[in-house]
Amino acid sequence: MSSLTPQEAATLLGVTVKTLHRWEIDGKIKSTRTAGGHRRYDIAELIGNRSSNELTVGYARVSSHDQKDDLKRQVLVLESYCAKHGWEFEIIQDLGSGMNYKKKGLIRLIKLITSYQVERLVLTHKDRLLRFGSDLIFTLCENFGTEVIIINRSDESTFEEDLAADVLEIITVFSARLYGSRSQKNKKIVEELREVALKL
Protein backbone atom coordinates (compact mmCIF):
# COMPACT_ATOMS: atom_id res chain seq x y z
CA MET A 1 0.00 0.00 0.00
CA SER A 2 1.62 3.28 -1.15
CA SER A 3 -0.99 5.68 0.24
CA LEU A 4 -2.88 5.91 3.51
CA THR A 5 -6.21 7.30 4.66
CA PRO A 6 -6.06 10.11 7.26
CA GLN A 7 -6.83 7.65 10.06
CA GLU A 8 -4.15 5.20 8.90
CA ALA A 9 -1.60 8.01 8.55
CA ALA A 10 -2.47 9.38 12.00
CA THR A 11 -2.05 5.92 13.53
CA LEU A 12 1.32 5.49 11.83
CA LEU A 13 2.58 8.80 13.24
CA GLY A 14 0.96 8.34 16.66
CA VAL A 15 -1.14 11.52 16.43
CA THR A 16 -4.80 12.44 15.94
CA VAL A 17 -6.37 13.11 12.55
CA LYS A 18 -6.89 16.71 13.70
CA THR A 19 -3.13 17.08 14.28
CA LEU A 20 -2.47 15.55 10.86
CA HIS A 21 -4.69 18.18 9.23
CA ARG A 22 -2.96 20.95 11.16
CA TRP A 23 0.44 19.70 9.97
CA GLU A 24 -0.87 19.78 6.42
CA ILE A 25 -2.06 23.38 6.82
CA ASP A 26 1.37 24.29 8.25
CA GLY A 27 3.07 22.69 5.24
CA LYS A 28 4.81 19.94 7.25
CA ILE A 29 3.19 17.16 5.21
CA LYS A 30 1.29 16.92 1.92
CA SER A 31 -1.70 14.94 0.77
CA THR A 32 -3.25 14.04 -2.54
CA ARG A 33 -6.94 13.66 -3.36
CA THR A 34 -8.77 10.65 -4.71
CA ALA A 35 -11.32 10.95 -7.52
CA GLY A 36 -13.93 11.23 -4.79
CA GLY A 37 -12.08 14.09 -3.11
CA HIS A 38 -10.74 12.11 -0.12
CA ARG A 39 -7.31 12.83 1.31
CA ARG A 40 -4.52 10.27 0.89
CA TYR A 41 -1.00 10.42 2.32
CA ASP A 42 2.12 8.92 0.75
CA ILE A 43 3.62 6.38 3.16
CA ALA A 44 7.23 7.02 2.06
CA GLU A 45 6.85 10.75 2.70
CA LEU A 46 5.29 10.15 6.11
CA ILE A 47 8.10 7.83 7.16
CA GLY A 48 10.64 10.39 5.98
CA ASN A 49 8.88 13.10 7.95
CA ARG A 50 8.72 10.85 10.99
CA SER A 51 12.46 10.16 10.77
CA SER A 52 13.30 13.85 11.04
CA ASN A 53 11.51 14.04 14.40
CA GLU A 54 12.79 10.82 15.96
CA LEU A 55 13.84 10.75 19.56
CA THR A 56 16.33 8.90 21.73
CA VAL A 57 14.74 7.49 24.87
CA GLY A 58 16.71 6.44 27.93
CA TYR A 59 14.84 4.09 30.24
CA ALA A 60 15.71 3.70 33.92
CA ARG A 61 14.03 1.47 36.48
CA VAL A 62 14.44 0.25 40.04
CA SER A 63 12.25 -2.18 41.95
CA SER A 64 11.68 -0.30 45.22
CA HIS A 65 11.84 3.06 47.00
CA ASP A 66 14.98 1.85 48.80
CA GLN A 67 16.81 1.93 45.45
CA LYS A 68 16.13 5.57 44.56
CA ASP A 69 19.85 6.38 44.69
CA ASP A 70 20.43 3.70 42.04
CA LEU A 71 17.66 5.25 39.93
CA LYS A 72 19.43 8.62 40.11
CA ARG A 73 22.70 6.96 39.04
CA GLN A 74 21.01 5.29 36.08
CA VAL A 75 19.47 8.59 34.98
CA LEU A 76 22.83 10.36 35.27
CA VAL A 77 24.58 7.68 33.19
CA LEU A 78 21.84 7.78 30.53
CA GLU A 79 21.85 11.57 30.34
CA SER A 80 25.64 11.71 30.07
CA TYR A 81 25.74 9.00 27.39
CA CYS A 82 23.03 10.62 25.25
CA ALA A 83 24.44 14.13 25.63
CA LYS A 84 27.92 12.91 24.69
CA HIS A 85 26.53 11.58 21.39
CA GLY A 86 24.62 14.79 20.72
CA TRP A 87 21.20 13.12 20.65
CA GLU A 88 17.91 14.81 21.44
CA PHE A 89 16.66 12.64 24.27
CA GLU A 90 14.03 11.98 26.90
CA ILE A 91 14.55 9.91 30.06
CA ILE A 92 11.68 7.71 31.20
CA GLN A 93 11.85 6.53 34.81
CA ASP A 94 9.94 3.72 36.50
CA LEU A 95 9.69 2.53 40.08
CA GLY A 96 8.39 -1.03 40.25
CA SER A 97 9.11 -4.70 39.81
CA GLY A 98 10.73 -5.99 36.64
CA MET A 99 7.81 -8.43 36.48
CA ASN A 100 5.22 -5.67 36.32
CA TYR A 101 4.15 -4.96 32.73
CA LYS A 102 1.74 -2.16 33.72
CA LYS A 103 4.25 0.43 34.91
CA LYS A 104 3.38 3.91 33.66
CA GLY A 105 6.81 4.57 32.16
CA LEU A 106 6.96 1.21 30.37
CA ILE A 107 3.52 1.75 28.85
CA ARG A 108 4.58 5.22 27.64
CA LEU A 109 7.77 3.73 26.17
CA ILE A 110 5.83 1.06 24.26
CA LYS A 111 3.40 3.66 22.89
CA LEU A 112 6.28 5.83 21.67
CA ILE A 113 8.02 2.85 20.03
CA THR A 114 4.88 1.56 18.31
CA SER A 115 4.06 5.04 16.95
CA TYR A 116 7.50 5.18 15.25
CA GLN A 117 8.71 8.06 17.43
CA VAL A 118 11.79 6.43 18.95
CA GLU A 119 14.98 6.25 16.91
CA ARG A 120 16.93 4.51 19.67
CA LEU A 121 16.33 3.09 23.13
CA VAL A 122 19.21 3.34 25.61
CA LEU A 123 19.48 1.19 28.75
CA THR A 124 22.22 0.92 31.35
CA HIS A 125 21.58 -2.85 31.64
CA LYS A 126 19.22 -5.24 29.86
CA ASP A 127 17.32 -6.17 33.04
CA ARG A 128 16.38 -2.53 33.71
CA LEU A 129 13.67 -2.93 31.09
CA LEU A 130 11.99 -6.08 32.42
CA ARG A 131 13.13 -9.04 34.47
CA PHE A 132 11.24 -11.37 32.13
CA GLY A 133 10.05 -10.42 28.67
CA SER A 134 12.64 -7.83 27.66
CA ASP A 135 13.16 -9.76 24.41
CA LEU A 136 9.51 -9.06 23.59
CA ILE A 137 10.18 -5.31 23.79
CA PHE A 138 13.37 -5.74 21.75
CA THR A 139 11.31 -7.49 19.05
CA LEU A 140 8.93 -4.52 19.03
CA CYS A 141 11.94 -2.24 18.64
CA GLU A 142 13.18 -4.28 15.68
CA ASN A 143 9.76 -4.22 14.00
CA PHE A 144 9.31 -0.47 14.49
CA GLY A 145 12.84 0.52 13.51
CA THR A 146 14.13 1.39 16.98
CA GLU A 147 17.81 0.74 17.70
CA VAL A 148 18.55 -0.74 21.14
CA ILE A 149 21.72 0.33 22.95
CA ILE A 150 22.72 -1.37 26.20
CA ILE A 151 25.57 0.61 27.72
CA ASN A 152 26.93 -2.09 30.04
CA ARG A 153 26.94 -5.13 27.77
CA SER A 154 30.52 -6.01 28.67
CA ASP A 155 29.77 -6.83 32.28
CA GLU A 156 26.65 -8.91 31.69
CA SER A 157 26.07 -11.38 34.48
CA THR A 158 26.45 -15.16 34.21
CA PHE A 159 23.50 -17.52 33.81
CA GLU A 160 23.74 -18.49 37.50
CA GLU A 161 23.72 -14.84 38.62
CA ASP A 162 20.74 -14.11 36.37
CA LEU A 163 18.88 -17.13 37.74
CA ALA A 164 19.54 -16.09 41.34
CA ALA A 165 18.37 -12.54 40.58
CA ASP A 166 15.23 -13.84 38.84
CA VAL A 167 14.33 -16.10 41.78
CA LEU A 168 14.90 -13.24 44.22
CA GLU A 169 12.71 -10.95 42.12
CA ILE A 170 9.87 -13.50 42.09
CA ILE A 171 10.04 -14.05 45.84
CA THR A 172 10.26 -10.31 46.51
CA VAL A 173 7.09 -9.67 44.50
CA PHE A 174 5.09 -12.44 46.13
CA SER A 175 6.27 -11.70 49.67
CA ALA A 176 5.39 -8.03 49.11
CA ARG A 177 1.88 -9.09 48.11
CA LEU A 178 1.56 -11.28 51.20
CA TYR A 179 3.02 -8.94 53.80
CA GLY A 180 3.13 -5.50 52.20
CA SER A 181 6.14 -4.01 50.45
CA ARG A 182 7.22 -1.92 53.46
CA SER A 183 6.56 -4.41 56.26
CA GLN A 184 9.46 -5.50 58.48
CA LYS A 185 8.57 -9.16 57.90
CA ASN A 186 8.81 -8.73 54.13
CA LYS A 187 12.13 -6.87 54.38
CA LYS A 188 13.56 -9.59 56.62
CA ILE A 189 12.50 -12.33 54.19
CA VAL A 190 13.98 -10.48 51.23
CA GLU A 191 17.29 -9.84 53.03
CA GLU A 192 17.61 -13.49 54.06
CA LEU A 193 16.86 -14.65 50.53
CA ARG A 194 19.33 -12.16 49.09
CA GLU A 195 22.05 -13.63 51.27
CA VAL A 196 21.16 -17.13 50.10
CA ALA A 197 21.06 -16.02 46.45
CA LEU A 198 24.51 -14.46 46.69
CA LYS A 199 25.93 -17.78 47.89
CA LEU A 200 24.55 -19.71 44.89
Catalytic residue positions? 63
Q: Considering Cα of 18, then 22, then 25, then 30, what sign does the dihedral take?
A: negative
For residue 171, what are the CA distances in angstroms to 8, 133, 165, 197? 44, 18, 10, 11
Alpha-carbon distance of 174 to 172, in angstroms, equals: 6
- Residue 190 CB contacts under 8 Å (≥ 6 apart), including other chains: 168, 171, 172, 175
Task: Determine the length of the chain.
Answer: 200
| 3-class secondary structure, 138 | helix
